[in-house]
Amino acid sequence: MNPSRLVRWSHALVAVPLALVMLGATPYAQDAPLPDTAELIREVKAGLRTDEELLRQYTFKERRRNVNVSRLGKVQFGQWREFEVYPSEVPGETYKRLISVDGTPLPAAELARRDAAHRKTVLDRLEQIRVERPKDRQKRLARTARERQEEQDVIDDVFAVYEIRLIGREMLDGRPTLVTSLTPRKQARTKSDAGKFLKKVRGKAWVNEADRQVVRTELEAVDDITFGFGLLARMQKGSTMMFRRTLVNGEIWLPAEAQYSVVGKTLVFRKFSLESTTRFSEYRKFNVTTSEEVTPKS
């Protein structure tokens, strides 16, 4: 099983309306008629951005712990680690600055050492870019373009895979939301690896009625999902995932929490189960000043 791939796909999923209720919210009086489903889909898709794209614009804190599943099915949880995450103007150099482990802050000297090492990495990369040959520059830009296209392919696959239905209104965190359900189309043609994953996942999404942004999704595997060609791990039917977003500065919805409750098998026969939560907080718009705060001057 490749946990990082699952996280990457699921973060993309939170940006889109997904199917079938697993945990309900409190309904409220449905006085107004529901909007046209086709129009709602157009509005959501028009304003849709993957979380990967949105997070390039902000610094934030991320609290999580790694979960490792051995080939024998043994689940091992790593320490709780908290990061300050700083996007970079240099492609591929986002800085996840480790600031505490199991609630204990890193010593100032260790922080300084890590900051200096990251700064050197960025400067070395900038120098490589400065002196790169034209054909190397073309390759780099093509690689970046492919990565952006892959993100768009995931969004396109969502709308290709799912039959979207508008099923009602509910209040969520004090805000009126439109509730959508999707049924995966098994025969849908997809562009991305994530699209294959989508065909085996159903759930429910809440769309903020005021701005047509998806603010919560709850997902469930409706079939076993294999990783590593089915030889390394299999996430079993019934595994669930929840993703919640928060409104930042009254202007943009960004990830707040991701929860996973997964049952599965490794090497086809050895069972495992795990639960994991990642939380995001303290968002700030990224700019040169926030970048300079963690890059010690030489």
pLDDT tens, position by position, 2-48? 444 444 444 444 444 333 333 333 344 456 788 888 898 888 888 87
Q: At residue 68, does pLDDT exceed 90?
A: no
Instruction: Kindly state the average pLDDT of the residues 76-102.
Output: 89
Please give the structure tokens belonging to residue 240: 């669930």
Cβ atoms of 271 and 242 within 8 Å: the answer is: no
| Least confident stretch, 151-155, 156-160, 183-187, 264-268 | 264-268
First-last CA distance in the chain: 42
Q: How many domains does the chain have?
A: 1
Q: At residue 118, does pLDDT exceed 90?
A: yes
Is residue 297 one of the residues assigned to a domain? no
The pLDDT > 70 percentage for the chain reads 82
Is residue 279 one of the residues assigned to a domain? yes
Which range of 23-32, 44-53, 100-109, 151-160 scores highest in mean pLDDT? It is: 100-109
Judged by DSSP in three states, 107 sits in coil
Give the model confidence (pLDDT) of 226-281 as tens digits: 875 445 678 889 999 999 999 998 889 999 999 999 888 877 577 888 888 999 99
Max intra-chain CA distance, the chain: 64
CA angle (244 as vertex; 167, 174 as ends), nearest 5? 65
What pLDDT does residue 9 have? 47
Q: At residue 106, does pLDDT exceed 70?
A: yes
Top-confidence residue, 19 or 112? 112
Is residue 241 one of the residues assigned to a domain? yes
Q: At residue 185, does pLDDT exceed 70?
A: yes
Cβ atoms of 90 and 56 within 8 Å: the answer is: no
Question: At which residue do the structure tokens 């202007």 appear?
Answer: 251
Q: Based on C-alpha coordinates, what's the Rg of the chain? A: 21
Question: At which residue do the structure tokens 């919210």 appear?
Answer: 25
Across the chain, what does the average pLDDT equal? Answer: 82
Domain around 189: 3-292
Is residue 233 one of the residues assigned to a domain? yes
Instruction: Kindly state the average pLDDT of the residues 138-161.
Output: 89
Is residue 298 one of the residues assigned to a domain? no
What pLDDT does residue 3 have? 44
Give the model confidence (pLDDT) of 206-240 as tens digits: 999 999 999 999 999 999 888 754 456 788 899 99
Give the model confidence (pLDDT) of 279-291 as tens digits: 999 999 876 444 4
Is residue 54 one of the residues assigned to a domain? yes
Instruction: Kindly state the average pLDDT of the residues 73-89.
Output: 88
Q: Which of 286, 267, 276, 289 is nearest to 74 (CA)?
A: 267
Is residue 113 one of the residues assigned to a domain? yes
Is residue 63 one of the residues assigned to a domain? yes
